[in-house]
Amino acid sequence: MPERRTRKPPYTIDVVLLTPVRGQLAVLLCRVPEGRDKWTLPWEGPRTGEALDAAAGRITKSVLGEDAVWREQIGAFGDGKRHPSDTEISVGFVGLVPMGTPSPVGGVYAWFPIADIPQLAPRQRQLLDSAISMVRTRMDQSPVAFRLLPQMFTLTELQQMYEFLLARRLHKASFRRALHGAWLVEPTDEWRSEGRGRPAQLYRYAPRKRRPAQRGIRLDFMS
Where do contacts with DNA occur on this chain (CB under 7 A)? 154-156, 170-174, 176-178, 181, 191, 193-201, 214-217
Q: Indicate which single residue of 175, 176, 188, 201 sits in contact with its own copies (rule: CB under 8 A).
A: 175
Please report whether residue 105 would count as binding its own copies according to CB under 8 A. Answer: no
Please report whether residue 207 would count as binding its own copies according to CB under 8 A. Answer: yes
Nearer to its own copies, 79 or 186 (CB): 79
Nearer to its own copies, 118 or 133 (CB): 133
Residue 36: name its binding partner from its own copies, DNA, none (Cβ under 5 to 8 Å by kind).
none
Residues 6+ apart with CB under 8 A from 113: 21, 22, 24, 25, 26
Q: Taking the complex as a whole, how short is the minimal distance between the CB of residue 47 and its own copies, in angstroms?
A: 10
Q: Taking the complex as a whole, how short is the minimal distance between the CB of residue 18 and DNA, in angstroms?
A: 24
| Cα dihedral sign, 43-44-45-46 | negative
DSSP H or E segment with residue 64: helix 52-64
Phi-psi region of 133 (alpha: psi -120 to 50; beta: other; left: phi over 0): alpha
Please report whether residue 223 would count as binding its own copies according to CB under 8 A. Answer: yes
Q: Indicate which single residue of 33, 150, 151, 178 sits in contact with its own copies (rule: CB under 8 A).
A: 178
**Among residue numbers 60 through 89, which ones bind its own copies (CB under 8 A)?**
73-80, 87-89
Q: Between the CA of residue 89 and those of 120, 124, 215, what are the distances in Å? A: 16, 11, 39
Residue 209: name its binding partner from its own copies, DNA, none (Cβ under 5 to 8 Å by kind).
its own copies
Q: Taking the complex as a whole, how short is the minimal distance between the CB of residue 187 and its own copies, in angstroms?
A: 17
Nearer to DNA, 75 or 199 (CB): 199
Please report whether residue 220 would count as binding its own copies according to CB under 8 A. Answer: yes
List the Cα angle 70/71/72 in 5-degree steps.
140
Ordered DSSP codes for 97-166: --TTPPPPSSSSEEEEETTSPPP--HHHHHHHHHHHHHHHHTTTTS-HHHHTS-SEEEHHHHHHHHHHHH
- Of 56-64, 107-115, 171-179, 194-202, the segment contacting its own copies by CB under 8 A is 171-179
Q: Taking the complex as a whole, how short is the minimal distance between the CB of residue 74 and its own copies, in angstroms?
A: 8
Strand ordering across the sheet containing 200-205: 152-154, 200-205, 185-192
How far apart are alpha carbons 13 and 59 in whole angstroms?
8
